[in-house]
């Protein structure tokens, strides 16, 4: 079959890979009908060494079950399903605690031999713990919104949940990518009253306003920090960091209020960063977040999409076929596209 492969920074190609097949009785084989490119795919797109390539890509997909292993109980041939960006058994202590990204038997797509979502088909391990059936057709108009259950909506929701957003909250969201915008939507959905969005791409921040942002701050650095501190009367009680680069983290501890919480969902492209007296400790700031256990959130978020209360699929502003995937990366990297849908 054909799939997207990353050969190194800036070099994505579509090529032949081995056809996936069931290996374990808990596997399912899914024919991908819709996938997409993630902001986090741009990290290797900008930095990956050619020595490590080629690697499979993509961790967000919807597809039709072609074949289910003998022990699979919850999905069957012909079902349309959505896959979270991590697969998980659904039964270990972490899964039962709602932390599927730490599943003791789980893993991530396109890592360690697992298939990637940007391709024609995927072998899905632990299908019962991983896949969720969707009660629509593969070409339903809701598909873009449903695809955000794979990652960006659940990730924005996780950021808000971990940040403690509730009725009346004041929240600052750093980053106007798809996750940042959906963190705005998720914060509004949980009742936040004041939502400051830090971003400077007007088309994106306009969508952020449509999702519920009450204020937009385009300034960065010290100027941006001062503006947010002014707007929030001395600092934001909740700050969502939806970028993953160190300047965004620095922005976060700059704008957070004493006693407040920084919730990170942008995958950190750094390991060490300041957490001492002058940044987190002195003001009793809490740092939380991590890879969202989106599988845990699908049951809660799905009805809001099906019943039209939220429309997270608006983050998709371009569609390509599988051959168009390299162009999708390029357009997102150049910030010509916010998020690119792939229809293999």
What residues between 191 and 250 interact with its own copies by CB under 8 A? 234
Contacts with its own copies in 150-169 (CB under 8 A)? 162
Size of the site for its own copies (CB under 8 A): 36
* SS3 (DSSP) at 92: coil
* Binder of its own copies out of 188, 204, 264, 295 (CB under 8 A): 264
- Contact status, residue 94 vs residue 102, Cβ threshold 8 Å: yes
283 interacts with its own copies by CB under 8 A = yes
Q: Which of 78, 272, 307, 334 binds its own copies (CB under 8 A)?
A: 272
d(CA 241, CA 226): 17
Q: Is 40 in the site for its own copies (CB under 8 A)?
A: no
| Terminal Cα-to-Cα distance of the chain (whole angstroms) | 11
Q: Are 123 and 22 in contact (CB under 8 A)?
A: yes
State the minimum distance, in angstroms, from the CB of residue 242 to its own copies: 13
CB of 281 to its own copies, least distance (A): 5
Place of tokens 């990652």: 151
State in angstroms the smallest separation of the CB of 250 from its own copies.
Answer: 12
234 Rama class: left (phi>0) / alpha (psi -120 to 50) / beta:
left
Q: What is the DSSP letter of 25?
A: T
Task: Build a one-symbol-per-residue string for 291-330: x at contacts with its own copies by CB under 8 A, - elsewhere.
Answer: x-x-------------------------------------
**Rounded Cα gap, residues 202 and 260, in angstroms:** 28
270 contributes a contact to its own copies by CB under 8 A? yes
Report the distance separating Cα 172 and Cα 17, nearest Å. 43
Tokens of 180: 């940042």
271 binds its own copies (CB under 8 A): yes
Residue 281 in tokens: 């400790």
Please say which residue, 135 or 259, places its beta carbon nearer to its own copies: 259
Residues that bind its own copies (CB under 8 A): 93-94, 97, 99, 101-102, 162, 234, 258-259, 264, 267-268, 270-291, 293
């Amino acid at each position: 079959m054909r799939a997207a492969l990353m050969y190194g920074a800036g070099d994505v190609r579509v090529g032949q890979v081995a056809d996936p097949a069931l290996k374990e009785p808990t596997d399912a084989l899914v024919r991908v009908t819709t996938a997409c490119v993630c902001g986090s795919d741009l990290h290797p797109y900008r930095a990956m060494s050619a020595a490590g390539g080629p690697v499979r890509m993509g961790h967000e997909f919807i597809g039709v079950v072609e074949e289910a292993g003998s022990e699979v109980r919850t999905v069957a041939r012909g079902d349309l399903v959505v896959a979270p960006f991590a697969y998980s058994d659904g039964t270990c202590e972490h899964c039962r605690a709602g932390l599927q990204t730490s599943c003791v038997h789980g893993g991530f797509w396109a890592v360690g031999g697992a298939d990637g979502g940007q391709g024609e088909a995927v072998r899905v391990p632990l299908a019962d713990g991983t896949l969720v059936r969707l009660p629509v057709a593969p070409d339903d108009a809701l598909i873009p919104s449903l695809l955000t259950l794979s990652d960006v909506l659940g990730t924005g929701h996780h950021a808000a949940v971990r940040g403690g957003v509730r009725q009346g909250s004041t929240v600052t969201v750093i980053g106007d990518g798809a996750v940042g915008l959906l963190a705005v939507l998720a914060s509004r959905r949980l009742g936040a009253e004041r939502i400051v969005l830090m971003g400077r791409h007007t088309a994106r921040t306009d969508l952020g306003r449509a999702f519920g942002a009450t204020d937009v701050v385009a300034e960065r650095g010290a100027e941006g920090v001062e503006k947010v501190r002014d707007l929030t009367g001395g600092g934001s009680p909740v700050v969502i960091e939806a970028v993953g680069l160190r300047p965004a983290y620095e922005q976060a501890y700059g704008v957070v209020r004493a006693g407040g919480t920084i919730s990170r969902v942008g995958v950190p492209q750094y390991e060490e960063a300041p957490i001492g007296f002058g940044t987190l400790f002195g003001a009793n700031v809490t740092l939380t977040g991590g890879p969202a256990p989106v599988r845990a959130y699908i049951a809660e978020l799905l009805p809001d999409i099906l019943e039209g209360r939220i429309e997270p699929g608006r983050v998709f502003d371009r569609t390509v076929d599988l051959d168009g995937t390299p162009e999708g990366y390029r357009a997102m990297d150049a910030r010509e596209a916010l998020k690119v849908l792939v229809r293999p």
